[in-house]
Structure 1
Amino acid sequence: MHEVTAPPSSHNAVVAFFDVDNTLMRGASAYYLSKEAWRRGIVGWRDIARFAWHQFRFVAVGENHKHMMNARERALEIVGGHSMQTLIELAETIYERDILPNLWPETVDLAKEHLAKGHEVWLITATPQFVAQVIAERLGLTGALGTRVRAEDGLLTGELEGHVLHGPEKATVATELAERVGADLAECWAYSDSSNDIPLLSAVGNRVAVNADVKLTHHAQTMGWQIMPLNRAGLKEARKRVKRQAKSVRKSSR
């Protein structure tokens, strides 16, 4: 199970869930993690070449379940034996140099639109938790749900704590979070580019296919879901929908 650490909230909470790779940013964040690990001598040329191939394929043709799982698992393996503080510092480095320049401004602006409505905005991603958390903190979002690595005596083992946060697992964790913060999933939102996130998108009342792959585009069209192209017109329409349809939440004065 993935630990949900959100504080208790009022029962009128609304959550907007955002996928990271190819939704919030261009490319796969695990690739940048591996590249920085190589710079620091944690992995060798063979590892970085493998990750470079995954990154190229991901950007060119979209997410493939088998390749994605292999990349995620290898990215988690390479952190074994290192302290959490070391990995947080690594994540902060890749955020500034690699992730920030590759953020999609349209999706970031949409996340901030939800914050302006009083919504909680959570990243939900197969990316390692320590990377997702840095992204969320730097963007001023509520929090992040990512794949966790087991730690013993302050050192990461390289083994997963629970499952890779992917596919149906995202829907499960999103449901747990909604219950924790007192949100009605029918009022919540989810944004993703991948057909692998159909379970997550189906779990909420408001779903948006962002920069969608072919399979998700077809499914969204069939189901009548909103499709948001990554351009100014797409952002404008998505913002209008949030302003028009999303429930505003007043923050408690306590």
Structure 2
Amino acid sequence: MNDLVYPEPHADAPLVVFDFDHTLYDGDSGGHLVKWLIKRNPLRIAAALAASVVLGPMVAFLPTRRRGVSGYIWIGTFGLHGRRSFDALIDRYVATHCEEVQGRLLPVALEVFRQHRLAGDRVVVATGAPPELARAILSFVAHEDVPVVGTAVGPRWGAVVAVRHCHSEEKMRMLRERGYGDVAVAYSDSSADLPLLKAAHRPVVVNPKKAREAFFRRVLPRDTPILNWGCESRGGERGA
């Protein structure tokens, strides 16, 4: 934590959008949460293993990803009754895994994040993870006040599922609905965020899969930085 006070951004300040997983956080934060939710009970583990025959391929493909993710969340949260209960469970997960999740925050990324805030930019996190999860993790480094746009969850069939996945084109729609339209700078690792990167005046690819670097060079402007901020298994040039 620190007691640094950031300037309040003006309404016309540049909008800077950060993805969360593999950008600020080394890994899939939502996936780590769901694994914990499922591992709490042997029956949930057995159900997830059996359902993976169907859910696994669904998660792998963009058109069916939301349904696949929702299936795993449903298994992990059966018995919960609403978003508040789910958010409380997220806070419990983060509190009991604080060293692990804090250790996954990327120092280079956090410094870039901090510099944008010090400059008075409007900084927003847009993530496929639940917003409460990103906020709880960012609280370790005193950034919990940053707006987070993330996957919406709600009660379904005795559990909690993703009702709106903040992913690909839907991420852009959710940003625009909240008044975040003209993106000055966007940081992301994922080709699923191509709509966001293309919408930004200055796209920055961070920690991409090595096999996707050529793709990003082909579809984004020639001067687009492709950087590695500390994800050892990922591509990109070292530095900020």
TM-score normalised by L of structure 1: 0.68
- Report what 1:44 is aligned to: 44
The Cα of 1:167 is off from its aligned counterpart by 0.8
- Report what 1:79 is aligned to: 77
- Report what 1:229 is aligned to: 228
- What letter corresponds to residue 38 of structure 2 in structure 1? W
1:1-254 aligned at under 5 Å gives the runs: 10-41=10-41, 44-46=44-46, 65=62, 69=66, 71-77=68-74, 78-80=76-78, 81-96=80-95, 97=97, 98-141=100-143, 142-151=146-155, 157-161=159-163, 163-179=164-180, 184-185=182-183, 188-214=184-210, 216-222=212-218, 223-224=221-222, 225-231=224-230, 236=239, 238=240
The Cα of 1:116 is off from its aligned counterpart by 1.2
- What letter corresponds to residue 165 of structure 1 in structure 2? C
* Secondary structure, aligned partner of 1:212: coil
Which runs of 5 or more residues in structure 2 are unaligned? 1-8, 53-59
- Report what 2:6 is aligned to: none
Give the distance between the partners of 1:85 and 1:227, measured in 2 at CA.
38
1:83-124: CA deviation from partner (whole Å, max 9, x where unpaired) = 444322332243351422222222122211211111232221
- What letter corresponds to residue 105 of structure 1 in structure 2? P
Cα distance change of structure 1 residues 231 and 76 upon mapping to structure 2, 3 Å threshold = closer
1:39-94: CA deviation from partner (whole Å, max 9, x where unpaired) = 54396223565899xxxxxxxxxx76378546522343233534444322332243
The RMSD of aligned alpha carbons is 3.7
Identity rate, percent:
22
Give the distance between the partners of 2:154 and 2:93, measured in 1 at CA.
22
Give the distance between the partners of 1:67 and 1:120, measured in 2 at CA.
32
- What letter corresponds to residue 46 of structure 2 in structure 1? R
- What letter corresponds to residue 132 of structure 1 in structure 2? A
Which runs of 5 or more residues in structure 1 are unaligned? 1-8, 53-62, 239-254
Give the distance between the partners of 1:156 and 1:128, measured in 2 at CA.
19
Contact 2:15 2:122 in 1 (8 A): yes
Contact 2:108 2:230 in 1 (8 A): yes
